[in-house]
Amino acid sequence: MTDLSRYTNDAQAERSLPRLHVCMAAGCVSLRSDAVQTALEKEVTRQGAKCHVKGVGCMGLCTAGPLVAVKPDGPLYQNVNPDAAAEIVASMTSHTSVRRLEYPSESAFFKRQVKIVLENSGEIDPEHIEDYLAVGGYQGLMHVLSELTPAQVVAEVSRSGLRGRGGAGYPTGLKWGTVAKAAGPKKYVICNADEGDPGAFMDRSVLESDPHRVLEGMAIGAYAVGADEGFIYVRAEYPLAVKRLQVAIRQAEKMNLLGTNIGGTTFSFRIKIRLGAGAFVCGEETALMASIEGKRGTPRPRPPFPAESGLWGCPTLINNVETYANVAPIMRRGAEWFASIGSDKSKGTKVFALAGSISNTGLIEIPMGMTLREIIFDVGGGIPGGKQFKAVQTGGPGGGCIPAQYLDTPVDYESLNKLGTYMGSGGMIVMDETSCMVDIARYFMEFSMSESCGKCTPCRVGTAQMYDLLNRITSGIAEPRDLELLEELCDVVKNTSLCGLGQGAPNPVLSTLRYFRTEYEDHIYNKHCAAGVCKMSSAVPEEVRS
Amino acid sequence: MPDTTGMLPPPSEDKRWRLVGATMRKNGYSPDALIETLHTAQESFGFLDDVTLRYVASALHVPLSRAYGVATFYHFFLLKPQGSHACVVCLGTACYIKGAKEILTAIEERYDVDTGDTTADGKLSLLTARCLGSCSLAPAAVFDTETLGKLTPDEVLGKLETLTAQQAPEKEAIA
């Protein structure tokens, strides 16, 4: 068995030394955190300061970027620009802090979070495998390979209660068990990193901040089900995530943590990256596999499920990024530990991307079962600009909008389903009174319509018809019967579409109809949009009337 | 028998065909490598024209209809040459509720260009993204390779003014 400790001494020693962590995830990089890092490095050299500047992954509070954290125990600086570099480095030497840049350490944003998936985000350099090893990385895999049989791994995952983080919440242990039992000389493991929901950037952040965690989870999965080859299907729109995955795979192969006879055992596992090409439907597992095979990403009916017949007809284990990211900690710390976090049927934590009309936009990880109110008003810091909360959208184009009266709902798979939305991959978009719910429904329908792959009629034709009806309503030319037709179409498309895209497409309409029906009626009967978003036309264009 | 598939000579002397050829060779000229190969071709040439699609299809032994089908199915693949500069406006939910539509309309009107098209002088291509994942910066847009956020229509028009006055950027390969 490979002794990992020889790689980790330097990285471990470094953790007790004074250092400055600069966030190098996409949000902060867009705000020029790379220039901040360069400026800090220059200042350290110029002042001869005894501190190390380190580029790290996402710290979560994207709204206050660029972020710089003083480690081991110092403050977090927000909105840092390169001009502040001299002052920050000087404060390291004098053991003081730059008060004007300090983010309040008592803030609920950090206090209420529980980090498993994001435990290393913002703490380690994602392009340095030694950093990951120093915080216990690959120990889960080594433990599994040396002490557990594949069946024991499956049992451990089952006992942890982990469920699919892609949104549907299928029990992960059950899925692993099915693939493990499937017969066949060749099996595959796939990581679904085709994060397509607008307003969702959890997976990207995990890949950019801690890519090895995903590789380790996949390797453990491969051992459990008996696969020797894996694919990560990642969006081409995430160049930084792709680059960091490439670096991570190379480093892991070099240390024999991926490849042939991993850690001196008989287990071999290789991972390849496949780039997506901008098709939302490829988030659906059968469409994703078609895309890996170089074809158009159209889904096919299930069964057979990928567990029996997946990639190139072989049994295939396919999980989402965040699901794999939970696996290594479960192996390292035990199923009981994981199962002790979260709610009754939804164990562990969930990562959410907070966006929209909310003070703390960014990435959070909270235990399952926390209420929407706690997430939005405590962790998220509430609605800025004295505006009123109106609704929160979860689940992307297949999800729904939840109104204020349900803010005390705990966030778990079952509770969200009851409200007509679903967990989804973790995008949470908060809206205030300046958003029109009919317009939001129209926005999502436009999305589903243009992302429909065209294979099945209900989705291809139904989404276009529903979009047309919503357009009529938001243009002020709809008649009462249009609403009836819309509801009927929702029912048909939801129940007869081939895959999740079509089945979910009516949800934004159904949920807004359920909670904000008066807004639809206001548009239709009074030709009035209370939010002032929809431009009502009194003159009706020819082509729409006919 | 030696594998002679894919030994098809490239359509021209252009050195960029070597990159395309290398991707196909790396994948053993397998039909499964179609998307990978099209990614390389687009990185090399900026877009996919008929010559490219025909060449890739015959080298990988897939029907031209399948190559064309794949190229048109995925939004990432471009079948038309792009302008010397690109502006990608994010239309993700967070950007949408914070006014991305107004930004898009402002650009369309100022440059007389439809979304997905290039201006008549070939200087600017206007594109949209489903979500850049930079929701904390909403509304956000990418100008060539630079992502900027919390934009107003006026700021965007000002930025484009400067951008189109500059030379075209060097293309950076990602994979």
Picking from B60, B66, B136, B151 by the largest number of A CB atoms within 10 A of its own CB, the best residue to mutate is B136
Please tell me which of the candidates B69, B74, B175 has its beta carbon nearest to residue A242: B175
Burial class of A35 by CB neighbour count within 10 A (0 to 12, 13 to 18, 19+): middle
Nearest-by-CA chain A residue for B174: A239
Neighbouring C-beta atoms of residue A429, cutoff 10 Å: 31
**Residue A318, strand partner residues:** A190
Instruction: Say whether residue B149 is in contact with chain A using an 8 A CB cutoff.
Output: yes
Nearest-by-CA chain B residue for A441: B93
Contacts of B137 in chain A (CB under 8 A): 27, 30-31, 62
Confidence of residue A172 (pLDDT cuts 50, 70, 90): very high
Contact A199 B131 (CB under 8 A): yes
Question: Would you say how long chain A is, in residues?
Answer: 546
Contact B96 A443 (CB under 8 A): yes
Neighbouring residues of A126: CB distance < 8 A, sequence distance ≥ 6: A56, A57, A208, A209, A210, A211, A212, A244, A248
- Residue B173's pLDDT is what? 43
Contact B92 A31 (CB under 8 A): no
Whole-angstrom distance, CA of residue A60 vs CA of residue A111 = 13
Nearest-by-CA chain A residue for B78: A277
pLDDT digits (tens, 9 = 90+) for B113-151: 999 999 999 999 999 998 888 888 899 999 998 889 999
Size of interface A-B (CB pairs under 8 A): 139
The interaxial angle of helices B34-45 and B16-26, nearest 10 deg, is 160
Alpha helices in chain B (DSSP H): 16-26, 34-45, 50-59, 64-73, 93-97, 100-111, 153-165
Spatial contact of A521 and A527, defined as CB atoms under 8 Å apart: no
Q: Is the pLDDT of residue B165 over 80?
A: yes
Picking from B48, B75, B91, B135 by the largest number of A CB atoms within 10 A of its own CB, the best residue to mutate is B135
Q: What is the mean pLDDT of chain A?
A: 94
A197: tokens are: 């929901």
Q: Is the pLDDT of residue A288 over 50?
A: yes
Whole-angstrom distance, CA of residue A111 vs CA of residue A113 = 6
Please tell me which of the candidates B32, B76, B94 has its beta carbon nearest to residue A293: B32
Nearest-by-CA chain B residue for A356: B94
Contacts of A401 in chain B (CB under 8 A): none
pLDDT digits (tens, 9 = 90+) for A463-508: 999 999 999 999 999 999 999 999 999 999 999 999 999 999 999 9
Burial class of A135 by CB neighbour count within 10 A (0 to 12, 13 to 18, 19+): middle
Alpha helices in A161-295 (DSSP H): 172-181, 202-209, 211-225, 239-254, 285-292
Q: Nearest 5°: CA angle at A253, between A247 and A255?
A: 105
Angular region, A306: left φ>0, alpha ψ -120 to 50, beta rest = alpha
Neighbouring C-beta atoms of residue B153, cutoff 10 Å: 17
Contact B133 A63 (CB under 8 A): no
- Is cis: bond before A126, omega within 30 of 0? no
Whole-angstrom distance, CA of residue B151 vs CA of residue B103 = 8
Contacts of A361 in chain B (CB under 8 A): 94, 135-136, 138
Confidence of residue A544 (pLDDT cuts 50, 70, 90): low
Contact A278 B93 (CB under 8 A): no
Chain A nearest CA to B24, separation (Å): 12
Strand ordering across the sheet containing A362-367? A362-367, A349-356, A427-432, A389-394, A400-403
> How far does CA A211 lie from the centroid of its chain?
13
Contact A296 B69 (CB under 8 A): yes
Question: CATH assignment of B85-165, given 3.40.50.300, 3.40.50.2000, 3.90.1150.10, 3.40.30.10?
Answer: 3.40.30.10
Nearest to B85 by CA among B153, B19, B166, B158: B166
Contact B137 A199 (CB under 8 A): no
Going along chain A from its start, the domains and CATH numbers come out as: 17-105 (3.40.30.10), 129-339 (3.40.50.11540), 349-432 (3.10.20.600), 437-545 (1.20.1440.230)
Spatial contact of A9 and A55, defined as CB atoms under 8 Å apart: no
Instruction: Say whether residue B81 is in contact with chain A using an 8 A CB cutoff.
Output: no
Chain A nearest CA to B47, separation (Å): 13
Cα–Cα distances (Å) from A212 to A56, A117, A142, A248, A435, in that order, read 14, 12, 14, 6, 40
Nearest to A445 by CA among A513, A381, A388, A538: A513
Contacts of B139 in chain A (CB under 8 A): none
Q: Is the pLDDT of residue B4 over 60?
A: no
pLDDT digits (tens, 9 = 90+) for A40-68: 999 999 999 999 999 999 999 999 989 99
Contacts of A444 in chain B (CB under 8 A): 93
Contact A277 B39 (CB under 8 A): yes
For tokens 């609920």, the residue is A108
For residue A507, give the amino acid letter: N
Checking DSSP bridges between strand A188-193 and strand A316-320, what pairing results, if any? parallel
Whole-angstrom distance, CA of residue B46 vs CA of residue B52 = 11
Whole-angstrom distance, CA of residue A55 vs CA of residue B3 = 47
- Residue B31's pLDDT is what? 95
Chain A nearest CA to B137, separation (Å): 7
- Residue B134's pLDDT is what? 85
Chain A nearest CA to B165, separation (Å): 22
Q: Is the pLDDT of residue A3 over 80?
A: no
Torsion angle of alpha carbons A233, A234, A236, A238, nearest 10°? -170
Checking DSSP bridges between strand B85-90 and strand B124-129, what pairing results, if any? parallel
For tokens 């890996």, the residue is A292
Nearest-by-CA chain A residue for B148: A30
Spatial contact of A503 and A464, defined as CB atoms under 8 Å apart: no
Contacts of A275 in chain B (CB under 8 A): 35-36, 39, 175
- Residue A454's pLDDT is what? 95
- Residue A4's pLDDT is what? 76
Angular region, A385: left φ>0, alpha ψ -120 to 50, beta rest = left
Give the DSSP per-residue string, B13-61.
S-THHHHHHHHHHHTTT-GGGHHHHHHHHHHHHSS--HHHHHHHHHHTT
Contact B75 A273 (CB under 8 A): no
Instruction: Say whether residue B135 is in contact with chain A using an 8 A CB cutoff.
Output: yes
A542: tokens are: 């020819």
Contact B174 A243 (CB under 8 A): yes
Question: Would you say how long chain B is, in residues?
Answer: 175
Nearest-by-CA chain A residue for B42: A277
For A324, phi then psi, to 5°, come to: -60, -35
A358: tokens are: 């909310």
Neighbouring C-beta atoms of residue A188, cutoff 10 Å: 24
- Residue A538's pLDDT is what? 58
Please tell me which of the candidates A239, A278, A393 has its beta carbon nearest to residue B93: A393
Chain B nearest CA to A125, separation (Å): 20
Nearest to A525 by CA among A487, A488, A483: A483
- Residue A1's pLDDT is what? 61
Confidence of residue A14 (pLDDT cuts 50, 70, 90): confident
Q: Which uninterrupted H or E stretch holds A496?
A: helix A480-496
Chain B nearest CA to A341, separation (Å): 28
ipTM: 0.90
- Residue B171's pLDDT is what? 53
Instruction: Say whether residue B20 is in contact with chain A using an 8 A CB cutoff.
Output: no
Spatial contact of A235 and A281, defined as CB atoms under 8 Å apart: no
Picking from A61, A188, A272, A275 by the largest number of B CB atoms within 10 A of its own CB, the best residue to mutate is A275
- Residue B167's pLDDT is what? 82
- Residue A12's pLDDT is what? 78
Nearest-by-CA chain A residue for B92: A198
Nearest-by-CA chain B residue for A447: B130
Contacts of A209 in chain B (CB under 8 A): none
Instruction: Say whether residue B27 is in contact with chain A using an 8 A CB cutoff.
Output: no
Q: What is the mean pLDDT of chain B?
A: 90
Q: Is the pLDDT of residue A279 over 50?
A: yes
A218: tokens are: 């996949």
pLDDT digits (tens, 9 = 90+) for B15-45: 999 999 999 999 999 999 999 999 999 999 9
The interaxial angle of helices B50-59 and B34-45, nearest 10 deg, is 150
Whole-angstrom distance, CA of residue A211 vs CA of residue A534 = 43
Instruction: Say whether residue B133 is in contact with chain A using an 8 A CB cutoff.
Output: yes
For tokens 């907070």, the residue is A354
Instruction: Say whether residue B121 is in contact with chain A using an 8 A CB cutoff.
Output: no
pLDDT digits (tens, 9 = 90+) for A108-126: 999 999 999 999 999 999 9
The SS3 call for residue A401 is strand
Please tell me which of the candidates B35, B98, B132 has its beta carbon nearest to residue A277: B35
In eight-state DSSP terms, residue A407 is: T
